């Protein structure tokens, strides 16, 4: 092979470019002036399959950073948000988080929505001891990765229990079918936690069907579920598919209520499913009706900036940035162990999604709100606290 | 090139790898990440080049082999080795002794799958083979997604960080060494013969079946090793990371580098890994630009990017005296 | 029994859409012998063209819906011709793999441009035609959208069959497929026929996109990826380059997928679809209806 004679030359060239690559270092970020910005990293699915969630969370985070800077920043320094896109692709988050930490020298990392992506970034943040705050990864494993990994949302184990209680107590259902997304770790986890608690409460799962994210045809699964005659259908998926599931369920003449978790949360849900959603329920982190000044302020500013009402993922993105700023303020320093300890000692922090307290496992103890869809609007139904959800109660009488 | 020189190059690369690895704490972790990713992609592209480029069997299932390697290697370091040798679970021991065994196990498992995937190539050609290998890749992915013991849809997390520059550079060098040595040996001429004209090759007594299967097994073996390196580097693996887009990405490197041109394929692997990183500053336009550049590259240099001739043409205005070479004659369609 | 009939109906309407997309793959393959990876994204553009046309001139009457369908088909036909002209034609004399890479590039370009222009979030697709659902005894439910797919697909298929077998362009297409050099020697304008093939295939993809979106009612820039892959599988199962084969493969795949999805093996749908594909190809290496070409020396 003719090209082969060049192998030595190419290797030499490769070596040279490697030297060039490793030779360059980022220049130290300016003199230590009073107004030097605090660098905050964010990694999100800005493009790709999960871009809808990533963009929503990013909008919330960006709004929070702008608000903080408009109010004079933290410790007299503005916050500088550096966002990296992971294209919703596995393997990318590790790279971008390494870049954020080593090249951009961020003091903390915010992200991600999807638990799978957060689990990729967590060991890297832990290794560098840079605090990471996940806005809305609900899988329990995320914060188990180390003592620098936090989250501002509740866990799927709690959400599953809350939904099981809701199905049993409020919907009075004993026969439930589950339709979950086999390709989404979030959905698989939530379905498992729900099943466990629901069976423990003397419920019965009469049918269990799976689909994969990105599917648009659910008629086959729904037809099989229809044949099992459940009293309610649990759909722990993302709104991108849930809207279509609701629509196709009604088209197939299924009239029992559907209910699901915080993946449902998005204004687009109603646009996609329209009237098919009436009388269905989901649990989430925050309801716009909740009478808190922070929440009202957030809804108003978000709507003014982006021209659409925020969803829970945007609210949690917003809260993750606010909580970080609050911790920096309390720590009196924007780095290292003091910052980590300040985040860990957060108590009753008031954000758009309610009060957040970080527990010793670095999770947020929060209540879930149940939302129903009535007349084309999301309406608040009830709040389920962690104590209520995990209480073992005898099943209610008929 | 003499086989001796090739072996010296291999030793040189391993030595360079160990030196760089010892100095790796001085290298910025982001650059380290990019460098390791480049080396892993080089292994994937060079090993696929044996199947696609040299033997002419168009395979789109390389990500599946990589997935097998990644899962088997990760399971070895995480579950099997600690189970067998409970005493030897110190990080140093895992890094030095268990990890190479895990890489080997991952490679062997992928190689076994290579037999299975290679078998249809005896009956199928071209696009039919491409779709069947793609199907195998997807089946492997779906199987891992449904295996709860390796994390199911969530994937495996908390894989020990064993991959370093030494292992990746050595493995990349070993892959290049093994593939070039095989192809350039007397035995290995058979691979090219199968690609050039299968019927003629068979007519002169070349056992085409054996060559095809060998190409699949060896290619899959190294893809499995790449998977093992990948898993122990990213520290978490997820079945979605091994979908057919990943296979297509690897095939892109092979075709852009020029099928059956190892040097070209290596450079294409480096370029296609660095390109998206270099485009990061333009955020939302990044992938649009990337795909646009891909089309442009293919239209302007369809022979594969890295023909030495291409560089000579590129440099010809600057090299006085050397006449610009004539245009390449068009290849028959 | 009702469940079986319902699933059969679900499978047929899904398979009909696969068949429409598969036809585009198969036609381009028949003439140019390469897999047009960008086809599945033309399918997506077709759906978005319908979406924006409808916003521009809302319709819920039969005529309005058909006008939008035609408009979207025309737009995609043009898009197909432009893609072929700019990205594929310069490479026609090169190896097929080069064109394959360019096709992947075009596919990625359409997807990412789509995400940039339309946003990544799914959009609700409007009802272009008046919708009615019929309920039969025993609970079998049929909607007019499902019927539309089942009626329009055979019609388009028959039209295509007519074009390929009875018209001058069709004859030219078959001649090129048979022997490109000989075809040019007898005075066939290669460029024009290939442009026409792309126009036809892309128009069918647009029709597929609209019919698919009518049934599933949500569109996003990545919606083409999965159906495109499935349709490609269908085209190969049927025997790539063979028009009735593509239709058969599409229907078969749609029905199999639906029945697997409705069973307890639904997590393995894709694996089972591909396993069947591999089995079929092992026993019939040129697909169900494809002719095995014995290579002569």
Question: In CATH, what number is assigned to the domain containing residue A271?
Answer: 3.40.50.2300
Best of C120, C149, C209, C216 to disrupt the A interface (most A CBs within 10 Å) is C120
Max Cα-Cα span within chain A: 84
Q: What is the token pair recorded at B132?
A: 């069947």
| Whether residue A253 is found in the same domain as residue A212 | yes
Indicate whether A119 and A135 sit together in one domain.
yes
Provide the chain A residues 64-103 that lie in CB contact (below 8 A) with chain C.
Answer: none
d(CA A44, CA C36): 32
Tokens of B308: 């030495």
Q: Does A204 touch chain C (CB under 8 A)?
A: no
Confidence label for A178 from pLDDT (cuts 50, 70 and 90): very high
Nearest to B153 among A95, A141, A183 (CB): A183
- Measure the CA–CA gap between C233 and C104, rounded to whole angstroms: 17
Residue among A47, A240, A252 minimizing CB distance to C141 = A252
**Domain match, A194 and A124 both:** no
pLDDT tens profile C260-288 = 888 878 778 888 888 888 888 888 878 88
User: Could you tell me if C184 lies within 8 Å of chain B, comparing CB atoms?
Assistant: no
With contact defined as 3+ CB pairs under 8 Å, the chains touching B are A, C
Contacts of C120 in chain B (CB under 8 A): none
Report pLDDT digits (tens) over C2-43. Answer: 788 888 988 998 999 999 899 888 888 888 888 888 999 999
C89 contact B CB<8A: no
Q: Is the ipTM of this complex over 0.90?
A: no
Q: Is residue A269 part of a domain?
A: yes
The contacts of residue B25 (CB under 8 Å, 6+ apart) are none
Do A247 and C10 count as a contact with CB atoms less than 8 A apart? no
Q: What is the per-residue pLDDT for C295?
A: 56
**Domain total of chain B:** 1
* Cβ atoms of A331 and A339 closer than 8 Å: yes
Which residues pair with residue C65 across a beta bridge? Answer: none
Q: Are residues A280 and A347 in the same domain?
A: no
Q: Is residue A356 part of a domain?
A: yes
- Count of CA atoms in the C-beta half-sphere (13 A) of B49: 32
- Whole-angstrom CA distances from A164 to A178, A193, A214, C62 are 12, 9, 27, 46
Cβ–Cβ below 8 Å for C261 and A216: no
The SS3 assignment for A347 reads: coil
The pLDDT score that the predictor gives to residue B46 is: 94
Disruptive mutation site among B6, B46, B192, B235 for chain A (greatest number of A CBs within 10 Å): B235
Query: What count of other Cβ atoms lies within 10 Å of the Cβ of residue B154?
Result: 22
Tell whether B23 lies on the interface with C, counting CB pairs under 8 A: no
Q: Name the least confident of A110-119, A200-209, A234-243, C96-105.
A: C96-105
From chain C, pick out residues whose CB is under 8 angstroms from the CB of A243: 122, 124, 218
Distance from CA of C40 to the nearest CA of A (A): 14
- C269: cis peptide before it, omega within 30°? no
User: Residue C95's pLDDT is what?
Assistant: 75
Burial state string for C188-217 with b = 16 or more CB within 10 A and e = fewer than 16: bebeebbbbbbbbbbbbbbbbbbbbbbbbb
Burial class (CB in 10 A: 0-12, 13-18, 19+), A20: exposed
Residue A14 lies in a domain: no
Let me know whether A121 and A180 are in one domain: no
> Is C147 part of the contact surface with chain A (CB cutoff 8 Å)?
no
Q: What is the pLDDT along chain B (333 residues), one digit of tens a residue?
A: 455 777 888 888 888 888 887 777 778 888 888 999 999 999 999 999 999 888 888 888 899 999 999 999 999 988 888 777 766 666 677 777 889 999 999 999 999 999 988 887 777 777 778 888 888 998 999 899 888 888 888 888 888 888 888 899 999 999 999 998 888 888 878 888 888 888 888 888 888 888 889 999 999 999 999 999 999 999 889 888 898 888 988 988 888 888 778 888 999 899 989 988 888 887 678 788 888 888 888 888 777 766 655 555 555 555 444 433 434 444 443
Check if B302 contacts C (Cβ < 8 Å): yes
d(CA C295, CA A240): 49
Residue B279 lies in a domain: no
Closest alpha carbon within chain A to B23: A22
Instruction: State both tokens at B8.
Output: 């010296």
Within 8 A by CB and 6+ apart from A382, the residues are A170, A369, A370
Q: In angstroms, rounded to a whole number, what is the distance separating the alpha carbons of residues A205 and A160?
A: 14
Do A163 and A272 share a domain, yes or no? yes
Q: Which residue of B has its CA nearest to A142?
A: B157
Inform me whether the C-beta atom of residue A253 falls under 8 Å from chain C C-beta atoms: yes
Q: Does C135 touch chain A (CB under 8 A)?
A: yes
Q: Which residues of B263-279 are buried (b: 16+ CB within 10 A; e: fewer)?
A: bbbbbbbbbbbbeebeb
For residue A182, the tally of other CB atoms under 10 A from its CB is 23
Do the bridges between strand B156-157 and strand B236-237 make them parallel or antiparallel, or are there none, so unpaired?
antiparallel
Closest-CA distance, C234 to chain B, in angstroms, reads 10
Q: For chain C, say whether A217 makes contact (Cβ under 8 Å).
A: yes
Please report all neighbours of C, defined by 3+ CB atom pairs within 8 A: A, B
Q: Which residues of B touch A94 (CB under 8 A)?
A: 33, 233-236
Same domain, A117 and A132: yes
The reply to whether A175 and A269 lie within a common domain is yes
**Which of B128, B203, B292 lies at the smallest CB-CB distance from C109?**
B292
Determine the pLDDT at residue B315: 57
**Is there a contact between B280 and A91 if contact means CB atoms under 8 Å apart?**
no
C180 chain-B contacts, CB cut-off 8 A: 333
Is A240 touching C (CB cutoff 8 A)?
yes
CA distance linking residue A46 with residue B36, whole number of Å: 25
Of C92, C113, C275, the CB nearest to B139: C275
Chain C residue numbers with beta carbons less than 8 Å from the beta carbon of B130 are 35
Domain positions in chain C are 14-127+140-223
pLDDT the model gives residue B306 = 64
Beta bridge mates, C123 = C219
- Continuous H helices in chain A: 7-23, 51-70, 92-102, 115-128, 156-165, 185-200, 219-228, 239-251, 268-273, 293-306, 312-331, 336-344, 386-390
The answer to whether position A27 is within a domain reads no
Q: Determine, yes or no, domain membership for A8.
A: no
Query: Mutate which of A59, A178, A192, A220 to disrupt the C interface (most C C-beta within 10 Å)?
Result: A220
| Residue-by-residue DSSP string for C177-214 | HH-HHHHHHTT--HHHHHHHHHHHHHHHHHHHHHHHHH
Residues of B in contact with A46 (CB under 8 A): 283-284
pLDDT of residue C255: 92
Nearest CA in chain C to B119: C282
Is A124 within the bounds of a domain?
yes
Q: Tell whether A12 is covered by a domain.
A: no
CATH number of the domain that B239 lies in?
Answer: 1.10.3470
The domain of B41 spans 3-273
Q: Can you give the pLDDT at residue B116?
A: 86
- The Cα A66–Cα A321 span in angstroms is 10
Tens digits of per-residue pLDDT, A69-106? 999 989 989 999 999 998 888 888 999 999 999 988 99
Q: Does C257 touch chain A (CB under 8 A)?
A: yes
The verdict on A303 and A276 lying in the same domain is: no
The answer to whether residues C266 and A211 touch, using CB atoms and an 8 Å cutoff, is yes
Looking at the domain assignment, is residue A7 inside a domain? no
CB A40 within 8 A of CB A325: no
Residues spanned by the domain of A67: 38-154+291-366
User: Average pLDDT in the A251-265 region?
Assistant: 90
Contact criterion met (CB < 8 Å) for C271 and B138:
yes
Q: Are A56 and A269 in contact (CB under 8 A)?
A: no
CB pair distance less than 8 Å for A219 and C10? yes
C6 interfacial to chain A (CB closer than 8 Å): yes
Give the CA-trace dihedral at A264, B245, A22, B280, to 10 degrees. Answer: -50
* Contacts across the A-C interface (CB distance below 8 Å): 103
Structurally, chain A folds into a number of domains equal to: 2
Chain C residues with beta carbon closer than 8 angstroms to that of B331: 93-95
Residues A58 and A103 in one domain: yes
Residue in chain B closest to C277 (alpha carbons) equals B132
Q: What is the nearest CA distance from A60 to chain C, expressed in angstroms?
A: 16
Please check whether residue B242 is in contact with residue B63, taking contact to mean a CB–CB distance below 8 angstroms. Answer: yes
Q: How far is B15 from chain C (nearest CA, A)?
A: 37
Tokens found for residue B63: 């990500």
Q: How far are the Cα atoms of A321, B164, C213 from residue A24, in angstroms, in the given order? A: 31, 20, 51
Asked whether the beta carbons of A346 and A357 are under 8 A apart, the reply is yes
CA distances in angstroms from C180 to B135, C176, C177, C259, listed in the order given:
31, 4, 6, 42
Q: How far apart are CA A76 and CA A325, in angstroms?
A: 12
Radius of gyration (Cα) for chain B, nearest Å? 20
Residues of C in contact with B295 (CB under 8 A): 87, 102, 105-106, 109
């Amino acid at each position: 092979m003719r090209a082969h004679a060049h192998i030595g030359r190419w290797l030499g060239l490769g070596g040279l470019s490697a030297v060039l690559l490793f030779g360059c270092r980022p220049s130290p970020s300016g003199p230590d002036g009073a107004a030097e910005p605090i660098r905050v990293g964010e990694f999100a699915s800005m493009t790709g399959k999960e871009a809808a969630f990533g963009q929503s969370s990013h909008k919330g985070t960006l709004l929070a950073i702008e608000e903080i800077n408009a109010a004079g920043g933290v410790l007299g320094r503005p916050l500088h948000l550096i966002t990296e896109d992971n294209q919703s692709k596995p393997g990318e988050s590790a790279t971008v988080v390494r870049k954020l930490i080593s090249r951009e020298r961020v003091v903390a990392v915010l992200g991600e929505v999807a638990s799978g992506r957060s689990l990729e970034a967590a060991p890297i943040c832990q290794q560098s001891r840079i605090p990471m705050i996940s806005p809305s990864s609900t899988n329990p494993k995320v914060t188990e990765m180390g003592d620098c990994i936090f989250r501002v949302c509740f866990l799927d184990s709690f959400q599953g229990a809350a939904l099981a209680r809701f199905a049993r107590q409020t919907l009075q259902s004993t026969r439930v079918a589950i339709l979950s997304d086999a390709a989404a770790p979030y959905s698989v986890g939530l379905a498992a936690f729900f099943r466990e608690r629901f069976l423990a409460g003397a419920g019965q799962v009469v049918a269990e069907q799976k689909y994969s994210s990105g599917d648009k045809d659910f008629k086959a699964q729904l037809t099989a579920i229809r044949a099992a005659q459940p009293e309610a259908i649990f759909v722990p998926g993302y709104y991108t598919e849930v809207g279509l599931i609701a629509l196709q369920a009604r088209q197939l003449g299924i009239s029992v209520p559907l209910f699901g978790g915080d993946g449902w949360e998005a204004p687009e849900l109603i646009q996609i499913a329209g009237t098919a959603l009436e009388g269905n329920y989901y649990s989430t982190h925050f309801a716009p009706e909740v009478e808190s000044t922070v929440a009202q302020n957030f809804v108003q500013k978000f709507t003014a900036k982006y021209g659409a009402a925020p969803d829970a993922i945007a609210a949690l993105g917003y809260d993750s940035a606010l909580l970080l700023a609050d911790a920096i303020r309390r720590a009196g320093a924007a780095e290292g162990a003091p910052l980590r300890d300040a985040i860990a000692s957060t108590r009753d922090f008031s954000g758009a999604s309610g009060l957040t307290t970080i527990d010793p496992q670095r999770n947020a103890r929060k209540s879930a709100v149940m939302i129903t869809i009535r007349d084309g609007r999301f309406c608040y139904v009830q709040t389920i606290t962690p104590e209520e959800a995990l209480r073992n109660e005898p099943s209610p009488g008929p | 090139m003499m086989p001796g020189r090739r072996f010296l190059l291999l030793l040189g690369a391993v030595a360079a790898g160990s030196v760089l690895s010892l100095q790796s704490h001085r290298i910025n972790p982001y650059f380290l990440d990019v460098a390791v990713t480049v080396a892993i992609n080089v292994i994937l592209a060079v090993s696929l080049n044996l199947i696609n480029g040299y033997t002419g069997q168009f395979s789109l299932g390389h990500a599946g082999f990589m997935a097998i390697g990644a899962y088997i290697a990760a399971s070895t370091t995480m579950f099997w080795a600690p189970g067998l040798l409970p005493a030897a679970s110190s990080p140093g021991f895992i890094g030095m002794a268990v990890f190479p065994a895990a890489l080997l196990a991952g490679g062997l498992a992928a190689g076994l799958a290579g037999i299975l995937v290679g078998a249809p190539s005896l009956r199928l050609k071209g696009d039919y083979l491409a779709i069947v290998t793609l199907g195998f890749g997807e089946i492997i992915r779906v199987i891992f997604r449904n295996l709860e013991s390796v994390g199911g849809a969530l994937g495996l997390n908390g894989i020990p960080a064993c991959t370093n520059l030494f292992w990746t550079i050595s493995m990349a060098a070993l892959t290049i060494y093994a593939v070039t040595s095989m192809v350039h040996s007397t035995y290995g001429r058979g691979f090219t013969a199968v690609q050039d004209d299968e019927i003629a090759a068979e007519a002169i007594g070349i056992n085409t079946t054996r060559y095809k299967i060998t190409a699949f097994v060896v290619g899959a073996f190294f893809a499995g090793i790449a998977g093992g390196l990948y898993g122990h580097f990213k520290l978490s693996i997820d079945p979605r990371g091994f979908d057919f887009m990943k296979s297509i990405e690897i095939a892109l490197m092979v075709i852009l580098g020029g099928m059956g041109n190892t040097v070209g394929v290596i450079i294409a692997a480096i370029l296609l890994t660095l390109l998206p990183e270099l485009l990061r500053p333009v955020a939302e336009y990044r992938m649009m630009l990337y795909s646009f550049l891909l089309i442009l590259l293919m239209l302007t240099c369809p022979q594969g990017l890295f023909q030495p001739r291409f560089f000579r043409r590129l440099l010809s205005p600057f090299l006085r005296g050397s006449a610009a070479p004539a245009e390449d004659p068009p290849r028959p369609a | 029994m009702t469940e079986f009939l319902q699933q059969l109906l679900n499978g047929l309407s899904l398979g009909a859409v696969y068949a429409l997309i598969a036809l585009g793959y198969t036609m381009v393959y028949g003439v140019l012998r390469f897999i047009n990876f960008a086809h599945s994204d033309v399918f997506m553009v077709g759906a978005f063209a319908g979406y924006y046309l409808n916003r521009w001139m809302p319709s819920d009457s039969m005529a309005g819906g058909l006008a939008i369908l035609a408009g979207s088909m025309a737009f995609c036909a043009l898009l197909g011709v432009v893609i072929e002209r700019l990205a594929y034609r310069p490479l026609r004399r090169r190896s097929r793999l080069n064109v394959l890479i360019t096709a992947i590039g075009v596919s990625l370009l359409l997807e990412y441009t789509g995400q940039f222009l339309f946003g990544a979030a799914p959009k609700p697709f409007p009802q272009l035609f008046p919708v009615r659902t019929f309920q039969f005894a025993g609970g079998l439910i049929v909607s007019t959208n499902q019927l539309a797919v089942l009626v329009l697909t055979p019609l388009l298929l028959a039209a295509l069959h007519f074009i390929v077998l009875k018209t001058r362009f069709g004859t030219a297409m078959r001649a090129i497929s048979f022997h490109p050099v000989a075809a040019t020697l007898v005075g066939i304008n290669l460029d024009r026929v290939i442009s026409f093939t792309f126009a036809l295939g892309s128009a069918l993809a647009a029709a597929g996109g609209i019919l698919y979106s009518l049934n599933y009612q949500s569109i996003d820039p990545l919606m083409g990826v999965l159906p495109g892959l499935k349709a490609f599988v269908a085209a190969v199962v049927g025997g790539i380059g063979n028009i009735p084969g593509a239709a058969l493969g599409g229907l078969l795949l749609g029905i199999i997928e639906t029945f697997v999805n409705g069973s307890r093996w639904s997590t393995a749908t894709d694996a089972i679809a591909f396993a069947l594909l591999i089995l079929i190809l092992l026993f019939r290496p040129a697909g169900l209806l494809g002719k095995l070409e014995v290579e002569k020396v």
